[in-house]
Amino acid sequence: MSERLRFARPSVLDAIPAERHTVIEASAGTGKTFTLEHLVVERLVRGARLEEVLVVTFTEKATREMRARVRATLDAIVHPRAGDPRVNPAEGPAWELDAGARTRLLEALVGFDRAPISTIHGFCQRVLVENAFQSQRPFRQVLVEPRRAFGRAFRDTLRAILAPRAAGALREVVLRVLEDTDAPRLEAALFPWYLERGAPRPSWDRARFAAAMDGLWTPAEQPALAQRVREAIGRRDLAARVVKQLGLLARIAERWRANRDPLEAILAVDGWGRAEVVKDEPARAWLPSRLKGKEALGAERAALEALLAVATSPFGVLVHELVPRVRARLDAEKARLGEVDFDDMLRLVHEALEGPGGEALAATLRSQYRFALVDEFQDTDELQWAIFRRLFVESRAGHVLYVIGDPKQAIYGFRNADVHTYRQARERLMGGAAPVRLGRNFRSTARVIDAYNAVFAEGFFQGDIRYDEPVACGDPSRRAIGPGGEDAPAMTLWTVAGAEKPSAAELRATLGDRIAREVKALVEGEPAPLRIVEKGRTRRVGYADVFVLTRNAREAEAIAEALARHGVPHAFYKQDGLFDTQEARDVLDVLRAVADPSDRSARLRAWLTPFFAVPLSSLAACRDLDPQHPLVARLFRLRQLAERHDGAGLLRALVEESGLVRRLLFLDSTGRGRESASGDGERALTNIQHVIEVLLEESGGRRGVDELVARLEAFVEGRAEPMSGEGAVQRLESDRPAVQLLTMHKSKGLEAGVVFLAGGFTKGGSGDRHEPLIAHEDGQREAWLRPVPDEVEERVAREAREEDERLLYVALTRAKARLYVPYLGPPPPGAEGALAGLERYGPLRGPLRWLDERLAALVRGGFVDGDAVTWERVEVRPPEPRDVAADRAALEALEVREARGGARWDALREAHAGYVLTSYTRMKSREGGYVAPPLEGEGGAGEEFTGEVAEPAPGAALALEEELDALPGGAGMGVFLHGVLEDLDPAEVKAVADADAWAARPRVARLFEARARTSGVDAAHLPAAARLIHRALRAPQRFGGVHLEGGFCELEERVAEMSFHYPIPERAHPPLEAPRPVSEQGEARPFAIERGVIRGVVDLVFERAGRTFFLDWKSDRLPRWDPAALGAHVQANYALQAKLYTLGIVRLLDVRDEAAYEARFGGLLYCFLRAMGRGEEGSGVVFERPAWEDVRAWERELRESRTPFGYVIDPRGARPGRGVTGAGA
């Protein structure tokens, strides 16, 4: 290395200051990565050590690419090769490298694995681990999935708030919100707010809200106010409505002044604001608009506006008060367990830098890194900027920060990326000076560049980010030529038109058909209509040269169907394509359930996947399965593999033990299996196996399930990529080149010879009314809750448009040789006749409308010249109808094959059937269900029930009896009464002798109101329901040697809503009275569960005099309450329940012989609420205590019969050798 070497140095480096913070703005195709790569080498040539140059990229794929490119450039310098034009160039700028410089570069190359090139999350994780003491974090941290961790903390917090004895207005707010949704949906709605870094708006400040409420008028002021309203408005009908609304607010204010409860007041204001005054106009919007411009009512309008500015919705209260509680609980749990998620990494580093040890940590990091180069800086956020600002910009030791990006490509606002932060950072770094701009495009032909320059240069971008310095072609040798070698058109505009206005579906179908025919012509046409000249070679367009860009997956599916009809090979290619599939989400759902088998919602999602293949129609029956049910047991078995950190064994078991291959390949081939989201079983199986292979490669087979979940979650959300270069790309069923279909967002960073724009016609977004609406005020990000003030609505719409404009810039600048763009505006001058009498789709509501507006202006000005830019009318083509007849024929053919199969098919059905989860309700429903007695005449036929029944005596208080008898029946009332009995405090019932006084207690009233709302019970029935329950619980009782003088409210040792489960007895199981088999170590020996599980929920279990009793509340309406009528009713409807529940409680108590039974089991009670307390002691209560021999006989019948007690319990029979393992009961 003694020779001096010259190596080509990009001239752009001359514009980048060596020792000053710099912003580099790189428009699409201008060589951003090339510049960044050579800037690293520039720092090394100037004497920096490799370890001192920190490079931060946006994705792991970009990290790998950057590492590979920097390493390759260093290798080219250290080991110059003959023929490399960069070595000793005859002209142009070059590095002059002496022996010392080349030695330094050699050392960098040899130690390149130490190069600090990583994503922002990788950098932050390294900071936390390497500086654990200063950052006050444990050395080993477990990566967790944020969605699952949030859900766990959310459910714990919600349980605490909704606990039966919990109090507080926040509980009532939660219950109000749950009237319109359920807990899983509320969790999903709040999760984006947990992630959101913008300040929630409107703000929820109790003091400001109190001041606004105090500022409202009083009922005493209402008459004078009404007179002023009539004078100011004039119209009597309108004035009357305004007066009514003002009066409603006055009453809310009066209630507020009485109790000063802000959450109660916010519920009242929300209820007022949501009520429609006239059709489609809620009071919150209607009243301010009617007061506007009325000077005489200015004070009231100001007071109302002050209230509405701080009066958030009940959901908004949860955003402001519940989400912080969940966050605090989750942070504490993560700190205890040493867990972090991706967002935590940035937050913890920022907190460490700003905390007590921040100066020491900053000094440590500054001693490591002198320079930082941050890629894709337009996608930064306030937290990332704060970290780099602290380390480099606020340093006084000459540290330098280079950031590179393109604000025109800032399209990830929904991920907290914030172009406003980019602009603030640019101002801070450049101090008003212009950034360094890369102005030459090396991707596209000059004609393509001219076409999109015309679109974007003037009149397109409406915000502060513009395209004031259009790029020039950096490689004039790059061309697109036609059949005769002439320059081919760079852009073609397609106008879809028909005799009637096309629908959105017709527009997509027409474009799909036209794209398919055009692609075939480009690739297969003779002579070739389009050839690409690049790097001195001329070639025709291939299928792999084509991108079709859409706004969302639905639009892409329509195009895919058209391509398939025309035989055009295609694939949904994306950088994260594999992890965008349903199969990746299926694997993730199963791993989430394995990580926490007790999470019901996670289990339900897992059981819908092909790993379990529970039909949707059967899912409701699987909501509350017992731990010994085979489905749950399998999850726990997989969990055991996970706890051993046997990731490889866990992932193999997912495939090998699930019957997945048979289900996806064999069953789907006959049309009877699960139809995969990918279109066929082979595709689905390929994707699942690929996902599992990637996880095995990433984990080395040694990661726990939480880390597997976190890693896969990051892949699915696009926050990370597999370390293998193409690990995220779906494997194709063949190696044929294919047209790539992808969204505009996913196209960022990619390029293609030919690009078809085929989406963005309709409005995007999730449609969730609770999703944050993003707007900025003085550069600060705000996240607004609906409904928003008009001024905010305008800001939200303006910023959404600006992001749409940037998205379209990304889409159009992917093309190297040609663009095809839908255009719905007026035809070019002279072509008006082509659209005479025809209609076009409209109005556009998606991003494409902004492009269409700009194109319309250009077209009017002669943009379409028939040479570089062409225009074509496309006739509307209706969507391809589904061949229903063919589907029906296929189904009939399948049914014929099944019928012919006979016993063989019966055997297959039995072999592949699921395990049984049964209960009293299910068994009873198979035989006709509940038998309602007639409300007139004699009721109750059948075998006599032999239990004790107390005789009700005719009493006084006839008015009360009539009131209670008038309470309606039905499932809703039953659920309501059971819910109240489950949640109430019996000590309160015992303490208050008067039913109405008890019902008036605030907590009791809230309980009744909340349960009524969720059960759909009319509030008019609440007084009678309260008296019914109060009387029933205080009625004296005597049964089985027990005397409760004060009624059931005396019970202290009690458990409400206790569940039990036990395996359906089988011949191979030990009988009830036999000792439990144990191993040599004394542990319970497991046995196989072949038939399934019986489950139940007991309303109340209590202990008295050492014996355990169980009680079932009954809200049935009967024509008579005498002992015979009650006994007959119980026998007809609840005898089976008595047997199953007695067996469940006996097993729960581990009773194995008659002596234990006599000592520990008290009996069962059926308590008919409407009859309790009507007469003598014990009225309305049926008590039964079966003999031990009866219990043993019931257990034998369950074990030996497929129809025990005359009810079907197991339609399949046992399947020897195919059960799961259970420990018995």
From CA 1142, how far away is CA 1185, in angstroms rounded? Answer: 9
Answer yes or no: is pLDDT of 1186 > 90. Answer: yes
CATH topology of domain 925-967+1036-1222: Lambda Exonuclease; Chain A (3.90.320)
From CA 275, how far away is CA 1019, in angstroms rounded? Answer: 19
Answer yes or no: is pLDDT of 461 > 90. Answer: yes
Angle between helical axes of 60-78 and 32-45 (0-180°, round to 10): 50
The closest alpha carbon to 1064, from 907, 1220, 906, 908, belongs to 1220
pLDDT band at 1211 (very low <50, low <70, confident <90, very high): very low
Q: What is the mean pLDDT of residues 461-469?
A: 90
* Lookup result for tokens 């199981």: 1069
Q: How far is CA 189 from CA 26, 178, 195, 204, 784, in A?
A: 37, 12, 11, 18, 14
How high is the pLDDT of residue 412? 83
CB-based burial label for 896 (10 Å; 0-12, 13-18, 19+):
exposed
Indicate the SS3 state at residue 1092. strand
First-to-last CA distance in the chain? 80
From CA 61, how far away is CA 375, in angstroms rounded? Answer: 13
How high is the pLDDT of residue 470? 94
Considering the domain delimited by 5-141+341-438, tell me its CATH architecture. 3-Layer(aba) Sandwich (3.40)
Structure tokens belonging to residue 1201: 């019969």
Q: Which residues of 1102-1133 are buried (b: 16+ CB within 10 A; e: fewer)?
A: bebeebbbbbbbbbbebebbebebbbbbbbbb
Answer yes or no: is pLDDT of 734 > 80. Answer: no
SS in 3 state form for 465-530?
A: CCCCCCCEECCCCCEEECCCCCECCCEEEEEEEECCCCCHHHHHHHHHHHHHHHHHHHHHCCCCCC
Q: With contact defined as beta carbons under 8 Å apart, do 29 and 116 qualify?
A: no
From CA 960, how far away is CA 1002, in angstroms rounded? Answer: 23
Q: How many CB atoms lie within 10 A of CB 1152?
A: 17
Q: With contact defined as beta carbons under 8 Å apart, do 123 and 132 qualify?
A: no
From CA 433, how far away is CA 436, in angstroms rounded? Answer: 9
Structure tokens belonging to residue 795: 């800001």
Indicate the SS3 state at residue 739. strand
Structure tokens belonging to residue 428: 């801070």
Q: From 1.10.486.10, 1.20.1080.10, 3.30.300.90, 3.90.1150.10, which CATH number describes the 577-717 domain?
A: 1.10.486.10
* Lookup result for tokens 């293949």: 613
- Tens-place pLDDT, residues 1057-1080: 887 777 888 877 888 887 766 655
How high is the pLDDT of residue 937? 38
From CA 375, how far away is CA 31, in angstroms rounded? Answer: 12
pLDDT band at 388 (very low <50, low <70, confident <90, very high): very high
- Tens-place pLDDT, residues 1035-1058: 999 998 899 999 999 998 888 888
From CA 1079, how far away is CA 632, in angstroms rounded? Answer: 24
Q: How far is CA 1218 from CA 175, 630, 658, 990, 1097, in A?
A: 45, 11, 12, 53, 28
Answer yes or no: is pLDDT of 395 > 70. Answer: yes
pLDDT band at 1094 (very low <50, low <70, confident <90, very high): confident
> Residue 328 carries which side chain, given as an amino acid letter?
A
How high is the pLDDT of residue 45? 94
How high is the pLDDT of residue 891? 36
pLDDT band at 88 (very low <50, low <70, confident <90, very high): very high
From CA 216, how far away is CA 246, in angstroms rounded? Answer: 9
From CA 364, how far away is CA 380, in angstroms rounded? Answer: 24
How high is the pLDDT of residue 1020? 83
From CA 396, how far away is CA 196, in angstroms rounded? Answer: 33
How high is the pLDDT of residue 453? 95
The closest alpha carbon to 810, from 617, 995, 547, belongs to 547
Q: Which residues of 412-448 are buried (b: 16+ CB within 10 A; e: fewer)?
A: bbeebbbbbbbbbbbeebeeeeebbbbeebebbbbbb
Averaged pLDDT of the chain: 83
- Tens-place pLDDT, residues 675-690: 443 445 556 777 787 8
In the chain, where the domains are located = 5-141+341-438, 146-204+316-334, 206-311, 467-572+739-767+774-783+796-875, 577-717, 884-914, 925-967+1036-1222
Q: With contact defined as beta carbons under 8 Å apart, do 1064 and 1198 qualify?
A: yes
| Strand 53-57 with 371-374, pairing | parallel
How high is the pLDDT of residue 901? 43
CATH class in words for 467-572+739-767+774-783+796-875: alpha beta
> Residue 479 carries which side chain, given as an amino acid letter?
R
From CA 737, how far away is CA 543, in angstroms rounded? Answer: 6
Q: Which residues of 393-404 are buried (b: 16+ CB within 10 A; e: fewer)?
A: bebeeebbbbbb
Q: With contact defined as beta carbons under 8 Å apart, do 601 and 150 qualify?
A: no
* Lookup result for tokens 């299926």: 586
Q: How many CB atoms lie within 10 A of CB 563?
A: 25
Evaluate whether 5-141+341-438 and 925-967+1036-1222 have a shared fold. no
Dihedral over Cα of 955, 957, 958, 961: its sign: negative
pTM: 0.65
* Lookup result for tokens 């009922």: 219
Q: What is the mean pLDDT of residues 97-117?
A: 93
Q: What is the mean pLDDT of residues 805-813?
A: 95
State which of 215-224, 711-720, 943-952 shows the largest mean pLDDT. Answer: 215-224
